[in-house]
Amino acid sequence: MAAGLSAQTPLHWDGGQQPNAGSAGMNGVYSPKATMARMYPGAGLRIAPLAEGFDVAEFERLAQGLVDSSKVPGLAMTIVQGGRVVSARGYGITDVNQPEVVDAHTVFRLASLSKSFASTAAGMLVSNGRLRWDSSVIDYYPSLRFSEPRAAYQLTLADVLSHRVGITSNAFDRDLERNAEYASLVQKIAYAPMKCAPGECYAYQNIAYSLVGDVVQGASGLRFEDWVSRNLFKPLGMHDASYGLDGITGSPRWAKPHVRAKAGWSPVFPKPTYYRVAPAAGVNASATDMAQWLLAHNGYRPDVLPPSLLATLHAPLIDTPAELRGSSWRRQRLNAAGYGLGWRIFDYAGHRVVFHGGAVQGYRGVVALMPERDLGVAIMWNANSNAPSGLLPTILDRAIGVTPQTWIEGESEPLEEGLYVQGLPKLPDSDTRSGGSEASVSNAKPH
């Protein structure tokens, strides 16, 4: 999987039989326990045509209906297919009190959709020989400590990016919600309970994940946010994209976050907390930006992201069976789930989907790639509503031609990525856990 990258110790990919490019894997169903060959347009992937009935106008009508029915104040949706942007539009308004129309350049907060930017940045440095996937994180953060002394010396870059750090899920997210600074939270990792040795089990992280920023800075000599802006945003033409609170509030047009109120939706000012962990949750972007991001990850910008890097980023490293539960589309469509490097990998009704979701106060978003249909989708909205999450499985269903389902009405998608803990019972200050859907720990060793 690391073909074309610098020489390094191999990652712990499963040694099982590798399915042919474009196939659904063993027994017709993709399993994250098997090593996947991720090929791209121009590199041998047999692209299947979209199923009859795939109608972009239908998806645009559904998006418009969500804002017309006040399910959300504003929404942006991007669809790319076959190397083309087939839709990149805004719907609704930026602010219910001071409304402006959401357009293709309106900026939304991406929350955990940011994780793929961090993993891609690290991977680019691996590609050019500045880093290795098995680089030791402690070499770039010498004060890093764990409750098990050997763990800090075992932790690799790939472990961080695949949430195989070994500590309790969402460690110290609550402290971050209480305005703690990133540097102080990293020091607290020394007191987090260890579930396993690094690389041996999965537990979703935001604080620990952001160690990738220190590694990128140490390897490149540039501040993490500056490196991503210079080497990803600018060359990909993501001209509306930025990092941080100043980035979004300084945008010419940006979608204000909204929470439920008695009269409907109420705008609030963006919380600064998760912007402090920029690699995990710091990016802001528009529908136009996400179109370029999807095209790049579908293999159409090899000048920036080589196919061998994309193959590595999008391959699963660990099973995440908890992802098979929750919303109705997950229960009915997902046969297997895993986590790669900043991306989730799903078996969606026998078809491979590369996915991530994100949530923080007043914002939600989902992004997905379906390689064999050369399809990419990104949906972002500015409210705590979960209804728009049903748009994604609707689009995927139409792409592969399965029996249509109504996913939007009554959709109960769980809060994504553990990025929003408001409303949970108050816990002691020493508590290391956060709320959300990422509380499970799974074994890393495939079988």
Q: Does some domain include residue 52? A: yes
**Nearest Cα to 384, choosing from 283, 290, 257, 287?**
257
Q: Does some domain include residue 7? A: no
Q: Does some domain include residue 387? A: yes
Alpha carbon 324 to its chain centroid, in Å, reads 17
Residue with tokens 């695949």: 162
Confidence band of 262 (pLDDT split at 50, 70, 90):
confident
Q: Does some domain include residue 4? A: no
Inform me whether the pLDDT recorded for 234 exceeds 50.
yes
Inform me whether the pLDDT recorded for 152 exceeds 50.
yes
Residue-wise pLDDT for 422-435, tens only, equals 333 333 333 333 33
The CA-atom distances, in angstroms, between 42 and each of 91, 299, 435 are: 34, 8, 43
Inform me whether the pLDDT recorded for 252 exceeds 80.
yes
199's torsion region: left (phi>0), alpha (psi -120 to 50) or beta?
left
What is the average per-residue pLDDT within 103-119?
Answer: 98
Residue 224 sits in a domain whose CATH number is 3.40.710.10
Between 211-220 and 115-127, two packed helices, what is the crossing angle to 10 degrees?
30
**Nearest Cα to 115, choosing from 293, 303, 330?**
293
Residue-wise pLDDT for 331-368, tens only, equals 999 999 999 999 999 999 999 999 999 999 999 999 99
Q: Does some domain include residue 342? A: yes
Q: Does some domain include residue 14? A: no
Q: Does some domain include residue 123? A: yes
Residue-wise pLDDT for 391-419, tens only, equals 999 999 999 999 878 798 654 444 444 44
Residue 424 confidence (pLDDT): 32
What is the average per-residue pLDDT within 110-133?
Answer: 98
Sign of CA dihedral 373, 330, 288, 38: negative
The CA-atom distances, in angstroms, between 278 and each of 10, 108, 111, 214, 270 are: 28, 15, 9, 11, 15
Q: What is the largest CA-CA distance in the chain?
A: 59
Residue 416 confidence (pLDDT): 46
Confidence band of 10 (pLDDT split at 50, 70, 90):
very low
Residue 61 confidence (pLDDT): 97
Q: Does some domain include residue 15? A: no
Predicted model pTM: 0.87
Residue-wise pLDDT for 165-208, tens only, equals 999 999 999 999 999 999 999 999 999 999 999 999 999 999 99
Confidence band of 32 (pLDDT split at 50, 70, 90):
very low
**Residue 176 is part of which domain span?**
26-443
Alpha carbon 153 to its chain centroid, in Å, reads 27
Confidence band of 44 (pLDDT split at 50, 70, 90):
low
Domain count, the chain: 1
In angstroms, the first-to-last Cα distance of the chain is 19
Here the tokens at position 22 are 């474009």
- Give the whole-angstrom CA distance, residue 346 versus residue 324: 9
- Give the whole-angstrom CA distance, residue 124 versus residue 121: 5
The DSSP H or E segment spanning 265 is strand 264-267
- Say which range, 21-25, 63-67, 137-141, 438-442, has the weakest mean pLDDT: 21-25
